Structure 1
Amino acid sequence: MKIPAVGGGVIHLPSDLGGSYGVVLIYRGHWCPFCNEQVAAFVAASDALQEEGIKVVAFSVDDEDETKDFIAKHDIPFRMGHSADLEAIVAAVGAYQNNAPARGRFLENTGFVLAPDGSVVNAVYSSRAIGRLVPSDVIRLVAFMKSSKR
């Protein structure tokens, strides 16, 4: 997958997370209170995620200006994508889509934990606003996976 990156360039997934455990957060949009909570939780857990060697990227169909405002609002330290191609993402990962009269078309929350080789070790698909990855679960899962390899 190729997602336009805030500030220029492209986020290539899964290759940009290669060599590390990674989290891919597909969120509904800057307007979603549940998405705001989820991203804020990942921001708050940034140090713990980094200590565990977990990289995070997030994106939505929001345009770059909306995404820049979202980054500023939450002081997001990880890479953010914008203007995701809804049809391409649905085709690539099977994310649910929604067409809300007040919001237009958007992707429903979807999250992946990736192994260092880019393979998916956990996927969370949501068909509405609730049901999503949380950083404490990701950290525990990765710690368990690392300890199982010893």
Structure 2
Amino acid sequence: MTGQLKNGDMFPNLVIPEVGGGTLRPANDLNGKYRVILIYRGHWCPFCNEQIAAFAQAADALSEAEIDVMAFSVDDETASAAFAAKHHWPFPLGHSADVETIVERTGAYDMHHPSRGHFLETTGFILAPDGSIVNAVYSTRAIGRLVPGDVIRLIAFMRSLSK
């Protein structure tokens, strides 16, 4: 395991299948913007549903603040597409993430559950425009995660420091 990523580390190059086709490359194509990467447990997690709904509802504020958002889980494409539709998810959404790869490359926690299978625990990253980590939030279970208001305020603060 690489270990957990720290502030200032470059986010690893990951390739995740995207709902609807194509691939997500979280560390690439930042276009001079900050980026939020949300790794969620799965469509079945009530806490993940709340987080995704909150980010979807904050889409205009995030866009106005020039913050890109993407999310992914181990859910297959069908479950991920239904999850995105349920929350009117306006951002890129990945599916079928490989647990071992994500754990190895990011240090995210994983869980083996008798009925849910092998999945990733909630993890969130804020990336600077150069792909370096501004903030990492690792959760060992369902709670402890990024929320849109905090993300917007932190990035505004980071921008103010560079002036």
Identify the TM-score tier after normalising by the shorter chain: over 0.9
Q: What amino acid is aligned across from residue 78 of structure 1 in structure 2? A: F
Q: Which has the higher helix share?
A: 1
Instruction: Work out which of the residue numbers 106, 124, 130 in structure 2 matches 1:111.
Output: 124
CA deviation after TM superposition for structure 1 residue 18, in Å: 4.5
Match of 2:57 in 1: 44
Match of 2:95 in 1: 82
How many aligned residue pairs are there? 150
Stretches of structure 1 lacking an aligned partner (at least 5 in a row): none
Match of 1:7 in 2: 20
The two structures, once aligned, show a CA RMSD in angstroms of: 0.7
**TM-score normalised by length of structure 1:** 0.98
Task: Determine if the alignment matches structure 1 residue 145 to structure 2 residue 161.
Answer: no
Identity, % of aligned pairs? 65
Kindly indicate whether the alpha-carbon contact (under 8 Å) linking 1:29 and 1:35 is maintained by their aligned counterparts in 2: yes
Kindly indicate whether the alpha-carbon contact (under 8 Å) linking 1:28 and 1:106 is maintained by their aligned counterparts in 2: yes
Separation in structure 2 between the aligned mates of residue 47 and residue 118 of structure 1, nearest angstrom: 23
Match of 2:107 in 1: 94
Stretches of structure 2 lacking an aligned partner (at least 5 in a row): 1-13
Q: What amino acid is aligned across from residue 135 of structure 1 in structure 2? A: P
Task: Determine if the alignment matches structure 1 residue 27 to structure 2 residue 40.
Answer: yes
Kindly indicate whether the alpha-carbon contact (under 8 Å) linking 2:26 and 2:70 is maintained by their aligned counterparts in 1: no
SS at match of 1:128: coil
